[in-house]
């Protein structure tokens, strides 16, 4: 087990950006920037033992911190907060008080707003044991940040172990009641050849329902059964067989069958036969967003292909439901003073 630190850049404000490399004895290698808590690369071996990067995103590390990327980003690999996904009309109410958030998706608030956690430079420290290496990132979000109430302290721990698992653990505290919903926004392509699309990936999601979307991908509040729809992945299905008639692909929050128990439960299994790679995600979250990447145009060069097709990557985001602050029937996302927000997801890599 090894962990390395490389200096990447320094901002005009004098903040240093570092790239951390976590590696285990089986050839799993993970690169993470303290800028945005961003996973930039995950190298895993295929069924022949050949290692390749399985994350789609910018080709050059410097592009992650460029102004072009900040203005046109797709959140490649980033830690998302304070609230991942959308909040309708960029507002919510707590008690009798209305809060107005920054709008960055038309009228709506998306992935933490104009300057979310994905654009923060996190404090970083490392930790190592005989069987694990870990990167611990911390970020302070002040009262009023993007319109959210309360001073919030966030911590994300990325741990790579010798069982070929990357573990993400989220912890937050706040001095006022505030919505919190953190996730990671990596786009996977298990082929390892990032010039190829993801249409031959097989996906299984243990979810009998999804949150129905209205205009702007805002939930209507209704839970829709996946039965007899193309969105049914309860049995492992080849992606292209499901979305051949969906020119816009899929962008849905699946309601995981394990509910809100808080225990680690299976959320998704993805495999790719040619490479033999398998990714399984386990999470304490009640939902997972399945998003098949929609093309730019992109102002930066991306891995594998300067002009990638629509289905170049697959985002799998363990989360609470979109717009929960405006839906009392959804699982609660309010963090209250004295409580601790804790969520955990495990990304397990293997081969067929």
Active-site residues, by number, are 185, 317
CA 352 – CA 278 distance, rounded (Å): 7
Strand, helix or coil at 56?
strand
CA 238 – CA 243 distance, rounded (Å): 9
- Chain CA centroid to CA 337, Å: 26
CA 23 – CA 28 distance, rounded (Å): 6
**Residue matched to tokens 């290496």:** 133
**Helices of type H across 205-319:** 239-243
Give the number of other Cβ atoms within 10 Å of residue 117's Cβ. 27
Provide the CB-side half-sphere exposure for 166 (13 A, CA). 25
CA 118 – CA 186 distance, rounded (Å): 12
**Do the Cβ atoms of 90 and 146 come closer than 8 Å?**
no
Bridge partner residues of 304 (DSSP): none
Of 209, 229, 154, the residue nearest 329 (C-alpha) = 209
Bridge partner residues of 155 (DSSP): 138, 171
What are the Cα distances from residue 80, in Å, to 6, 46, 154? 23, 29, 11
Backbone angles phi, psi at 87, to 5 degrees: -125, 120
**Do the Cβ atoms of 279 and 349 come closer than 8 Å?**
yes
């Amino acid at each position: 087990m090894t962990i390395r630190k490389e200096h990447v850049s320094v901002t005009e404000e004098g903040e240093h950006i570092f790239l951390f490399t976590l590696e285990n004895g089986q050839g799993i290698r993970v690169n993470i920037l303290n800028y945005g808590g961003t996973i930039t690369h995950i190298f895993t071996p295929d069924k022949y033992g050949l290692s390749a990067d399985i994350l789609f995103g910018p080709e050059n590390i410097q592009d992650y911190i460029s102004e072009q990327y900040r203005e046109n980003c797709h959140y490649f690999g980033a830690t998302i907060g304070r609230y991942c996904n959308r909040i309708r009309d960029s507002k919510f109410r707590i008690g009798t008080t209305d809060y107005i958030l920054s709008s960055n998706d038309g009228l709506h608030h998306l992935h933490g707003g104009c300057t979310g956690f994905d654009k923060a430079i996190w404090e970083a420290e490392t930790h190592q044991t005989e069987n694990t290496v870990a990167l611990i990132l911390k970020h302070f979000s002040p009262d009023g940040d993007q319109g959210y109430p309360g001073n919030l302290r966030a911590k994300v721990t990325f741990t790579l172990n010798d069982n070929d698992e990357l573990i993400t653990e989220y912890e937050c505290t706040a001095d006022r009641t505030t919505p919190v919903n953190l996730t990671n926004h990596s786009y996977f392509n298990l082929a390892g050849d990032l010039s190829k699309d993801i249409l031959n990936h097989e996906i299984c999601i243990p979810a009998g329902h999804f949150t129905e979307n209205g205009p702007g991908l805002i939930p209507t509040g209704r839970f829709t059964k996946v039965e007899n729809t193309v969105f049914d992945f309860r049995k492992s299905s080849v992606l292209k067989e499901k979305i051949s008639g969906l020119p816009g692909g899929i962008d849905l929050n699946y309601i995981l069958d394990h509910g809100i128990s808080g225990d680690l439960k299976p959320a998704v299994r993805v495999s790719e036969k040619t490479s033999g790679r398998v990714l399984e995600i386990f999470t304490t979250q009640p939902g997972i967003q399945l998003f098949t990447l929609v093309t730019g145009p992109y102002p930066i060069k991306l891995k594998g292909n300067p002009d990638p097709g629509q289905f170049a990557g697959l985002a799998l985001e363990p989360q609470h439901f979109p717009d929960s602050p405006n839906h009392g029937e959804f699982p609660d996302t309010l963090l209250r003073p004295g409580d601790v927000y804790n969520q955990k997801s495990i990304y397990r890599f293997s081969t067929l």
